[in-house]
Amino acid sequence: MRADRRTLLIGAGALALGACTRATEPAAVEPVVLDLDLSALEARHGGRLGVSVATDGKQAAWRGDERFVYCSTFKMYLAAATLLRVQAGQERLDRAIPVTQADMISHAPVTEPAVGSTLTIEQLMKGAVEVSDNPAANILIREMGGLDALRAFYRGIGDETTRVDRLEPELNRADGDKDTIRPGQSARNIQRLILSEASPLESPFKRLLLEWMVASPTGQVRLKAGVPLGWTVAHKTGTGGDGPVNDIGVLYPTDGEPIAIAVYFHATKESTDAQREAVIADATRQALKALGHG
């Protein structure tokens, strides 16, 4: 029941933000850029950290224009792309897709039990976002027309830099600029899709995406550990096998405007999972402080 109550709060928060952006968007007001220095955090833990936070009229970033392997955080964007296809009448939430043994790769908590039967497009999106099911993501990419279609989605929302090169699980391995995103661009994408009244996603589909992001049980000690008590976190995690640990989404304060956030950490191979996740939480706290929270 806790997730359901939070979903209601999100719906109200998104609508409230829409009322605020209606007046400011036509004026094209430049946001106030605030200082965010995470060099000490990097020095303590090693690795490379990329963070971007943005709310109505304010933003802050550290390595916001550098590239980071996004890992499973892309599944939030994949779901948004699929929801846009549903909205346009090109796809249906209830369309049943056969799930076969040939679809199976590592981490398939939703799709593996469904081998030999079907899952709907909605169930595949829910599985990809909530519990990061890898075969579900690959099936959704296939059903939308392949990697070119996902790439076109990014370009369609004004993102000209995010790379789309491989499927799961290969996309988690660092290989130059392949399958990378810039934290600043990711935060802008989140604002565009979820927080802006000018979002291409209509409210019912936006709410559905947020429900999955709030309900996700993953990453309890990442973004969620870095926000004040009582805040709602709608997010998508991503984890690579050789150091990348990421978390992106929307933070809903108990009072004030929602905050788009993207945190990507390419940790050292020697660090532990607990250490890597603690860096995400610490970076979140420092980014929020830069915005005036805490």
What is the 3 state secondary structure string of the chain? CHHHHHHHHHHHHHHHHHHHHHHHCCCCCCCEEECCCCHHHHHHHCCEEEEEEEECCEEEEECCCCCEECHHHHHHHHHHHHHHHHHCCCCCCCCEEECCHHHCCCCCCCCHHHCCCEEEHHHHHHHHHHCCCHHHHHHHHHHHCCHHHHHHHHHHCCCCCCCCCCCCCHHHCCCCCCCEECHHHHHHHHHHHHHCCCCCCCHHHHHHHHHHHHHCCCCCCCHHHHCCCCCEEEEEEEECCCCEEEEEEEEECCCCCCEEEEEEEECCCCCCHHHHHHHHHHHHHHHHHHCCCC
Catalytic residue among 39, 52, 72, 199: 72
Residue 72 annotated to the active site = yes
> What residues are annotated to the active site?
72
